[in-house]
């Protein structure tokens, strides 16, 4: 039975024997010998992937897994969606790379992206093609705002993740990653995010959102606050790598109001939340705010061919020709697939599936809220996280989350861990995932958590 056939006919994964199987183990050991110590995913997902289709991947030993990592949110229609494969194959024979020159594929892609903006934004936003990573687009957004304002400081939020380049890392909360690298980008100021479950100000959930944004408001207008008026505020509306933390609505709106009042460009990093992941094309639409700069990447092409953009208010467009160049800004395969992705999302009402599957996940995982090791189940659209904490002292249970991840893999489900000390087990399924696959994945997660939790269990 081919894997594609499996995806269409069966909801269940299958895994035989220990992981990694012998053929995967061979590749993993070569990988360990030859690849960088900085490699990440294979450390917790010890499999070598042979092929994939839809929501499933098959490793080299014939084990089939449900993939709820999806290239860290890169595959909105799952692996190798046939229509996108078709479009990419045709484009492959036509034109693959064209720097930032005009091409029909690029033109269609731009048209598609602008058409997904709220009507009031379409005509005033400009688009810039960046080097093909989210981090490069974050760098571009920071440079754009510094150039346009003539200011140098940036406000970012604790727990945020914006990438691993020097500047993107500087605005990222993850201390472990930046501590060994000296002389990072200066002038970054971190403020608390509305992470009410672990309120950074130590307050109760009812008051924390207003207090954390209130602290930002007071700091930026305080003549003795120590922070010059910044070039930009950068924020995620759902902190993804930070542990799937949706911003509270009043928090996000007040950040927008403050930045507007003080004439500070607001950069919304939609690298992970964009392209329909949260149920609207961009997450900011659900907050009723309009950012000045949008950063997008991951799901843009729909098939993993890399592309990254910023879309920004035309009034910021004062940087010079060549201000942010890069050889790989003209991936025609990504453009052709990305335009087709938008067409498919509209045609198949994929966003409606996101809402329905989100309701299903919420319903299925609600039972975990009683589990002694579960601190919170939270999500938005098809970004979900189960935060684990020690029932005795409330400390993040990162070790348990990694055990759950390993046991879920053994049961046939690929998932990721993130958040403080990696204590949040995460779901990032394809946006067109089927109900029975979601159901199986939820059952595996619940079983893996039961199996992994130290006693006393539920
Ligand atoms: C919100 C956000 N911004 C930026 C990035 C960096 O993107 P990339 O890994 O493509 O550089 C990520 C990656 O996970 C992300 O989640």
Is residue 426 in contact with ligand 1, taking CB distance under 6 Å?
A: no
Confidence check: pLDDT of 125 > 90: yes
- Pocket test of ligand 1: the residue of 69, 132, 133, 134 to mutate, having most ligand atoms within 8 Å of its CB, is 134
Confidence check: pLDDT of 3 > 90: no
For the stretch 292-313, pLDDT in tens is 999 999 999 999 999 999 999 9
Is residue 351 in contact with ligand 1, taking CB distance under 6 Å?
A: no
Q: Give the mean pLDDT of the chain.
A: 95
Please tell me the predicted confidence (pLDDT) of residue 1. Answer: 45
For the chain, what is the HEC assignment?
Answer: CCHHHHHHHCCCCECCCCCCCHHHHHHHHHHHHHCCCCCCHHHHCCCCEEEEEECEEEECCCCEEEECCHHHHCCCCCECCHHHHHHHHHHHCCCCECCCCCCHHHHHHHHHHHHCCCHHHHCCEEEEECCCCHHHHHHHHHHHHHHHHCCCCEEEECCCCCCCCHHHHHCCCCHHHHCCCCCCCCCEEEECCCCHHHCCCCCCHHHHHHHHHHHHHHHHHCCCCCCCCCCEEEECCEECCCCCEECCHHHHHHHHHHHHHCCCCEEEECCCCCCCCCCCCCHHHHHCCCCCEEEECHHHCCCCCCCCEEEEEHHHCCCCCCCCCCCCCCEHHHHHHHHHHHHHHHHCCHHHHHHHHHHHHHHHHHHHHHCCCEEEEEEECCEEEEEEECCCCCCECHHHHHHHHHHHHHCCEECEEECHHHCEEEECCCCCCCHHHHHHHHHHHHHHHHHHCCCCCC
Is residue 236 in contact with ligand 1, taking CB distance under 6 Å?
A: yes
Confidence check: pLDDT of 91 > 60: yes
Please tell me the predicted confidence (pLDDT) of residue 367. Answer: 94
Take atom 16 of ligand 1 and give the residue whose Cα is closest: 272
> Residue 190's beta-bridge partner residues?
156
Please tell me the predicted confidence (pLDDT) of residue 210. Answer: 72
Confidence check: pLDDT of 458 > 50: no
Confidence check: pLDDT of 114 > 50: yes
On the 0-12 / 13-18 / 19+ scale of CB atoms within 10 A, 38 is exposed
Note the pTM of the prediction, 2 decimals: 0.96
On the 0-12 / 13-18 / 19+ scale of CB atoms within 10 A, 319 is middle
Per-residue pLDDT band at 457 (split at 50, 70, 90): very low
Q: Which range is least confidently modeled, 4-18, 94-108, 164-178, 442-456?
A: 4-18
CB 397 within 8 A of CB 390: yes
Which domains can be identified in the chain, with CATH numbers? 1-67 (3.90.1150.10), 84-347 (3.40.640.10), 349-458 (3.90.1150.10)
Per-residue pLDDT band at 412 (split at 50, 70, 90): very high
Please tell me the predicted confidence (pLDDT) of residue 205. Answer: 63
Is residue 208 in contact with ligand 1, taking CB distance under 6 Å?
A: no
**What is the distance between the alpha carbons of residues 433 and 16, in angstroms, rounded to a whole number?**
24
Tokens, residue 160? 């945020």
Per-residue pLDDT band at 320 (split at 50, 70, 90): very high
Nearest-atom index, ligand 1, CA of 236: 1
Nearest-atom index, ligand 1, CA of 165: 11
Is residue 161 in contact with ligand 1, taking CB distance under 6 Å?
A: yes
Instruction: Find the 265 Cα to ligand 1 centroid distance in Å.
Output: 20
């Amino acid at each position: 039975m081919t894997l594609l056939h499996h995806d269409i006919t069966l909801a269940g994964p299958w895994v035989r024997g220990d992981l990694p199987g012998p053929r995967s183990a061979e590749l993993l050991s070569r990988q360990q010998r030859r690849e960088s110590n900085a490699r990440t995913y294979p450390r917790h997902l010890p499999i070598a992937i042979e092929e994939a289709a839809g929501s499933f991947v098959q490793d080299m030993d014939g084990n089939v897994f449900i993939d709820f990592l999806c290239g860290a949110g890169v595959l909105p229609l799952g692996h190798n969606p046939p229509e996108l494969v078709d479009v990419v194959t045709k484009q492959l024979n036509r034109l693959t790379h064209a720097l930032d020159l005009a091409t029909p594929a690029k033109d269609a892609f731009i048209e598609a992206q602008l058409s997904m903006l709220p009507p009031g934004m379409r005509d005033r936003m400009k688009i810039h093609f960046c080097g093909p990573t989210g981090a490069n687009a974050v760098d571009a957004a920071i440079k754009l705002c510094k150039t346009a304002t003539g200011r140098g400081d940036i406000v970012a939020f604790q727990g945020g993740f914006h990438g691993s380049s020097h500047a993107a890392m500087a605005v990222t909360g993850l201390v472990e990653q930046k501590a060994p690298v000296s002389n990072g980008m200066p002038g970054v100021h971190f403020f608390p995010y509305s992470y009410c479950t672990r309120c950074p100000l130590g307050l109760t959930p009812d008051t924390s959102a207003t207090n954390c944004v209130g602290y930002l408001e007071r700091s930026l207008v305080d003549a003795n606050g120590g922070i010059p008026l910044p070039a930009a505020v950068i924020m995620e509306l759902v902190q993804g790598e930070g542990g799937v933390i949706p911003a509270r609505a009043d928090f996000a709106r007040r950040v927008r109001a403050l930045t507007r009042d003080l004439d500070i460009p607001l950069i919304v990093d939609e690298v992970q939340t964009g392209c329909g992941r949260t149920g609207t094309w961009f997450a900011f639409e659900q907050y009723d705010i309009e950012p000045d700069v949008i950063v997008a990447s991951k799901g843009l092409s729909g098939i993993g061919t890399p592309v990254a953009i910023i879309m920004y208010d035309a009034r910021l467009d004062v940087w010079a020709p060549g201000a942010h160049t890069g050889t790989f800004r003209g991936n025609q395969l990504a453009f052709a697939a990305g335009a087709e992705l938008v067409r498919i999302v509209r045609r198949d009402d994929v966003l409606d599936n996101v809402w329905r599957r989100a309701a299903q996940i919420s319903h299925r995982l609600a039972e975990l809220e009683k589990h002694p090791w579960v601190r919170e189940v939270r999500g938005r659209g098809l970004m979900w996280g189960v935060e684990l904490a020690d029932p005795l002292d409330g400390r993040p249970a990162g070790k348990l989350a990694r055990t759950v991840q390993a046991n879920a893999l053994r049961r046939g489900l690929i998932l990721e861990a993130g958040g403080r000390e990696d204590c949040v087990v995460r779901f990032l399924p394809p946006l067109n995932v089927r109900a029975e696959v979601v159901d199986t994945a939820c059952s595996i997660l619940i079983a893996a958590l039961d199996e992994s939790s130290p006693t006393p269990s539920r």
